[in-house]
């Protein structure tokens, strides 16, 4: 996400300076980027915005286009766009294929000069191939062969594998001009006004000077193209493309300094526009490389971007473009004026523009707009489809299936930055000088001082924060204590301005740079995309218990995963399985409501085991009416296992089962039990039992009070029945039960008594006798049945009356 940018009167004026743009390939991720001296660590998302300086030569082949531009070679193709130094200031001929890029320089018709052939692979690295270059006037490629033409050396062929000579043809003195090739064995040569074709050992004229064909010619299949009077002509068929022709806007070319034919297309280098114009075989204009235009995919002062899967949404001053591996598409339904943030949420796109928030559907059409009292400049989306919108000091939240936004968080100062972590579960607010992290429940769980000149920020799975500040990325690593000192990464100097930074689920880093989107792999900035942590530590024996001593602690799904956490407050006791080390820090593996988690050991106090109060124990049975309930033994001293009814290790042991008591699971410094479990053994198996479920085998069990089943009955439909802590109507209500709920009575129901003693959970409580129903249907259930019957009878009567009225009307007509 990006932070607010000051409005400037320069932006509208700058429109006139946008002279160059790129529209060539479909939107893809590239594997190479712009570099002049060495390989760039980033790649560039291809848009159709590109600026040439002074392009003079063009070549096309194998789905690629190469342009010589003021000492640099600019390569466009299946791997994207790449710019690198050619090592020369002028170029006489340029060739490109999957074998590489080959450049001829130093040819002069006015004076003797030393010619040179330079070879590069498709990454821009110079190859060490060496070819004889004395008086070479032209070069051409075909397959794995480089052809050279020289009045001294003749026409020769060299291998592109090792540079060795593979063939030599008749001396080329009469063929002083230029050549092109078609296939492995057909070479076209120009001399004066003629074109000759060499195939095998024979050389024949194919036009006998009938048409004036100069140095700029190219062949494609059976067609020969050449430049005449500024037009692109096709031999025997007249003008193919006319300069300053009927085409409009970008389709027109004025000054063709060079052209190439390949891939079923004609590529014209138009010096007047500093652009490459691309035409199909039927003369249809397809697209262009360079020059200013308004076509889809051009980024005009991009402000914000969002990434989800293989989709990238970029908001600029004209539109929001959604790029994919197919082609860019635009959000539809309204004009964009001042976009400040954009985000994907499920199959929807949310755009903050000119103070409003706009929702677009899967087809990118406008679905709904939302208004906020102080406008909306920032929007973020969680992994569960929740959407967050910032307005002034307030953050609003809308669930995936909700229609409206509701208040969620109020910051101390105006929110000027909003984002979620890479996992989409932690919300981050930038307000004033502080970046604050919030849990899904809206609780503060961390903060960081904001560095200067920040324009955007993002957070990875481990909670590491990445700030975009000027031409640097600052990485603050998340630690148990907070955040480390920043690690600084310099960004490419050839870009003037960086405006936004985004991470995707694979850890790639996307940066808006001038009119481009550049992409770094995760290793470039040490992005954490998921936990590499593996826990192979076995459970301790015996298991133990700890208490949180910090004001609050974070329980992680993995020690270095900040996205899946549980916030635990001071004083909460937890069952512990083991002590685990990760990256030099010690954690406790504990049980929580959300499963196994890891808390910093320094945030908790571990209780010790206590001495067993007796050596042998018998089970204390409980009863419901005349039924006796046995005692369960568990594999772990887990209160959650008891509460959630997990399968025990032993189920419903009778009072004749004798257990060996090994210890009290957890005691405090005074020896007081703090957990309520004994560690026992039964039939040679280690187990755990609730303290209240056993007694010393030497003691006689107390007589068991009778328990009676009943139901609660409300006085009216929809009304609940209160459960009182004390037998008083003004006493504390510990719970409310719905009509018909089952309950256990600790005494027979006597309607002459105001209250009846009941068992609720493990507590003795009280219910008004008028709300007890020992059998049959409760009052509320009876009332519901009566109302249902009345409604049914009413419906039947209504139908009968309607039929009678209809029949009466028919009789009246008769």
- Residue 678, by phi and psi: left (phi above 0), alpha (psi -120 to 50) or beta? beta
pLDDT of residue 35: 32
Structural contact between residues 52 and 20, judged by C-beta atoms closer than 8 angstroms:
yes
Predicted confidence band at 201 (pLDDT cuts at 50, 70, 90)? Answer: low
Structural contact between residues 213 and 197, judged by C-beta atoms closer than 8 angstroms:
no
pLDDT of residue 245: 65
Residue 615 has pLDDT above 70, yes or no: yes
Structural contact between residues 722 and 730, judged by C-beta atoms closer than 8 angstroms:
no
Q: Report the range of poorest mean pLDDT among 35-49, 235-249, 307-321, 574-588.
A: 35-49
HSE-CB for 22 with a 13 A CA cutoff: 25
Tokens of 378: 């920032």
pLDDT of residue 566: 87
Give pLDDT tens digits for 267-293: 888 877 778 888 888 888 887 776 555
The candidate with the shortest Cα–Cα distance to 285, out of 261, 263, 297, 267, is 267
d(CA 177, CA 336): 55
Predicted confidence band at 653 (pLDDT cuts at 50, 70, 90)? Answer: very high
Residue 246 has pLDDT above 90, yes or no: no
- H or E stretch at 692: none
Residue 34 has pLDDT above 50, yes or no: no
d(CA 180, CA 187): 6
pLDDT of residue 391: 96
Sign of CA dihedral 135, 141, 143, 144: positive
Q: Answer yes or no: same fold for 19-289 and 544-606.
A: no
Is 544-606 a domain of CATH 3.30.70.100?
no
State the CATH class of domain 19-289: mainly beta
pLDDT of residue 160: 92
pLDDT of residue 292: 54
Alpha-carbon torsion, ordered 513, 516, 522, 523, to 10 deg: -70
Protein fold of 610-696: SH3 type barrels. (2.30.30)
pLDDT of residue 11: 33
Q: Enter the DSSP assignment of 122.
A: T
The candidate with the shortest Cα–Cα distance to 309, out of 344, 275, 338, is 344
Highest mean pLDDT among 227-231, 247-251, 613-617, 721-725: 613-617
Q: What number of other Cβ atoms are within 10 A of residue 479's Cβ?
A: 12
HSE-CB for 101 with a 13 A CA cutoff: 30
Could you write out the DSSP letters of every residue in 419-464? EEBTTS--EEEEETTEEEEE-TTS-EEEEEEPPTTEEEEEE-TT--
Structural contact between residues 516 and 494, judged by C-beta atoms closer than 8 angstroms:
no
The residue ranking higher by pLDDT, 549 or 443, is: 549
d(CA 645, CA 604): 28
Which residue do the tokens 């903050």 mark?
A: 352
Of all residues in the chain, what percent are helix, strand and coil, respectively (each to 5)? 10, 45, 45
Structural contact between residues 515 and 292, judged by C-beta atoms closer than 8 angstroms:
no
What 3-state class would DSSP assign to 210? coil
pLDDT of residue 702: 64
pLDDT of residue 411: 94
Domain range annotation of the chain:
19-289, 304-524, 544-606, 610-696, 707-814
The residue ranking higher by pLDDT, 519 or 235, is: 519
Residue 731 has pLDDT above 60, yes or no: yes
State the CATH class of domain 707-814: mainly beta
Q: What number of other Cβ atoms are within 10 A of residue 231's Cβ?
A: 17
The whole-number average pLDDT for the span 212-230 is 76
**Which residues does residue 776 pair with via DSSP β-bridges, in sequence order?**
none
pLDDT of residue 2: 54
Q: Report the range of poorest mean pLDDT among 82-86, 605-609, 791-795.
A: 791-795
Tokens of 76: 């466009």
What 3-state class would DSSP assign to 194? strand
d(CA 147, CA 168): 10
User: Number of H helices and number of E strands within the chain?
Assistant: 3, 72
The candidate with the shortest Cα–Cα distance to 150, out of 163, 164, 165, 134, is 134
Give pLDDT tens digits for 343-394: 999 889 999 998 999 999 999 999 999 999 999 999 999 988 999 999 999 9
Global pTM?
0.61
* Cβ contacts of 47 within 8 Å, gap of 6 or more: 22, 27, 297, 298, 299, 328, 515, 516, 517
pLDDT of residue 39: 53
Q: How far is CA 640 from the centre of its chain?
A: 35
The residue ranking higher by pLDDT, 237 or 498, is: 498
pLDDT of residue 14: 35
Residue 86 has pLDDT above 80, yes or no: yes
pLDDT of residue 676: 95
**Which residues does residue 314 pair with via DSSP β-bridges, in sequence order?**
305, 321
Is the N-terminal amide bond of 431 cis, ω within 30° of 0? no
What 3-state class would DSSP assign to 656? coil
For all residues of the chain together, what is the average pLDDT?
82
Which residue do the tokens 């990325």 mark?
A: 473
304-524 is classed in which CATH architecture?
A: 6 Propeller (2.120)
Predicted confidence band at 664 (pLDDT cuts at 50, 70, 90)? Answer: very high
d(CA 653, CA 310): 58
Predicted confidence band at 8 (pLDDT cuts at 50, 70, 90)? Answer: very low
pLDDT of residue 763: 79
């Amino acid at each position: 996400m990006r932070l607010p940018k000051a409005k400037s009167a320069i932006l509208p004026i700058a429109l006139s300076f946008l002279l160059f743009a790129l529209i060539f390939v479909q939107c893809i991720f590239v594997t190479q980027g712009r570099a002049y001296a060495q390989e760039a660590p980033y790649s560039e998302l291809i848009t159709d915005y590109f600026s040439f300086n002074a392009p003079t030569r063009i070549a096309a082949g194998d789905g690629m286009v190469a342009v010589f531009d003021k000492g640099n070679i600019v390569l466009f193709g299946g791997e994207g766009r790449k710019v690198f130094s050619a090592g020369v200031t002028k170029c006489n001929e340029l060739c490109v294929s999957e074998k590489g890029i080959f450049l001829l320089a130093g040819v002069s018709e006015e004076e003797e000069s030393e010619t040179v052939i330079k070879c590069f692979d498709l990454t821009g690295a110079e190859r060490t191939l060496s070819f004889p270059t004395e008086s070479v006037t032209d070069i051409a490629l075909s397959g794995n062969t480089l052809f050279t033409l020289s009045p001294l050396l003749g026409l020769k062929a060299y291998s592109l594998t090792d540079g060795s000579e593979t063939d030599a043809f008749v001396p080329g003195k009469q063929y002083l001009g230029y050549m092109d090739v078609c296939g492995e064995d057909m070479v076209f040569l120009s001399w004066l006004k003629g074109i000759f074709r060499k195939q095998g050992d024979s050389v024949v004229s194919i036009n006998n000077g009938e048409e004036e064909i100069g140095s700029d010619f190219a062949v494609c299949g059976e067609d020969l193209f050449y430049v005449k009077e500024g037009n692109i002509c096709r031999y025997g068929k007249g003008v193919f493309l006319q300069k300053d022709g009927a085409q409009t806007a970008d389709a027109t070319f004025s000054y063709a300094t060079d052209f190439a034919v390949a891939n079923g297309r004609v590529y014209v280098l138009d010096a007047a526009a500093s652009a490459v114009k691309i035409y199909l075989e039927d003369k249809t204009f397809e697209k262009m490389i360079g020059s200013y235009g308004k076509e889809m995919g051009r980024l005009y002062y991009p402000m914000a971007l969002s990434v989800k899967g293989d989709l990238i949404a970029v908001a600029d001053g004209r539109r929001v473009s959604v790029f994919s591996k197919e082609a860019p598409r635009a959000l539809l339904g309204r004009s964009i004026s001042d976009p400040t943030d954009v985000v994907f949420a499920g199959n929807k796109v949310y755009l903050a523009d000119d103070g409003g928030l706009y929702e677009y559907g899967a087809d990118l059409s406008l679905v709904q707009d939302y208004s906020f009292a102080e406008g909306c400049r920032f929007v973020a989306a969680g992994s569960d489809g929740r959407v967050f919108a910032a307005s002034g000091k307030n953050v609003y939240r809308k669930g995936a299936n909700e229609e409206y936004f509701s208040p969620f968080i109020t910051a101390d100062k105006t929110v000027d930055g909003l984002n979620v972590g890479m996992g989409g579960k932690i919300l981050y607010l930038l307000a004033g000088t502080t970046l604050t992290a919030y849990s899904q429940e809206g609780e503060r769980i961390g903060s960081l001082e904001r560095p200067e000149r920040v324009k955007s920020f993002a957070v990875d799975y481990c909670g590491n924060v990445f700030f975009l500040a000027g031409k640097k990325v600052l990485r603050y690593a998340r630690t148990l204590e907070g955040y480390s000192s920043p690690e600084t990464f310099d960004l490419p100097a050839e870009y003037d301005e960086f405006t936004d930074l985004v991470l995707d689920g694979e850890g790639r880093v996307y940066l808006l740079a001038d009119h481009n989107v550049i992409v770094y792999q995760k290793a470039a900035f040490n992005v954490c995309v998921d936990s590499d942590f593996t826990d192979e530590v076995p459970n301790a024996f015996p298991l133990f218990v700890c208490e949180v001593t910090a004001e609050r602690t974070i329980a992680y799904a993995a020690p270095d995963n900040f996205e899946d956490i549980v916030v635990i407050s001071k004083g909460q006791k937890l069952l512990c399985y083991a002590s685990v080390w990760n990256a030099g820090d010690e954690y406790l593996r504990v049980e929580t409501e959300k499963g196994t988690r890891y808390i910093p050991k320094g945030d908790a106090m571990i209780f010790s085991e206590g001495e067993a109060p007796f050596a042998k124990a018998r089970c204390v049975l409980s009863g419901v009416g005349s039924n006796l309930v046995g005692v369960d033994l568990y594999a772990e001293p887990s209160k959650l296992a008891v509460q959630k009814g997990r399968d025990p290790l032993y189920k419903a042991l009778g009072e004749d089962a004798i257990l060996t008591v090994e210890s009290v699971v957890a005691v405090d410094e005074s020896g007081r039990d703090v957990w309520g479990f004994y560690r026992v053994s039964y039939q040679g198996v280690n187990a755990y039992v609730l303290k209240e479920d056993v007694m010393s085998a030497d003691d006689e069990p107390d007589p068991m009070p009778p328990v009676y089943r009943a139901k609660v009955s409300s006085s009216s439909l929809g009304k609940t029945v209160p459960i009182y802590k004390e037998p008083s109507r003004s006493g504390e209500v510990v719970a409310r039960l719905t009509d018909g709920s089952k309950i256990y009575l600790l005494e027979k129901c006597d309607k002459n008594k105001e209250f009846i003693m009941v068992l609720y959970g493990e507590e003795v409580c009280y219910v008004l006798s008028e709300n007890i129903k020992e059998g049959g249907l409760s009052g509320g259930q009876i009332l519901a049945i009566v109302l249902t019957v009345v409604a049914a009878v009413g419906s039947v009567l209504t139908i009968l009356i309607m039929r009678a009225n209809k029949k009466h009307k028919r009789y009246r007509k008769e």
